[in-house]
Amino acid sequence: MRIFHVPDMSCGHCKAVIEKAVLAADAQAELVFDLDAHEVRITSDLADHDLLAILVKESYPATILV
């Protein structure tokens, strides 16, 4: 599991866009969102740089916290 800080993520639409994009790349991924903290916890077989690239492509640049 990795925790990503996504400063521009603030609503259900943001959550849906991120979830759809990550699951399209890894259908087995698990995502847990904390919209108030602007964080998403992702459990996936994808590499960190791949997950960051997905977020950037969807206009949600992020940094890895853990």
Give the span between the Cα atoms of 46 and 13, in whole angstroms: 23
pLDDT digits (tens, 9 = 90+) for 10-41: 999 999 999 999 999 999 999 999 999 999 99
- Burial class of residue 16, CB neighbours in 10 A (0-12, 13-18, 19+): exposed
Q: Give Cβ neighbours of residue 36 (< 8 Å, ≥ 6 apart).
A: none
Regarding pTM above 0.85, the answer is: yes
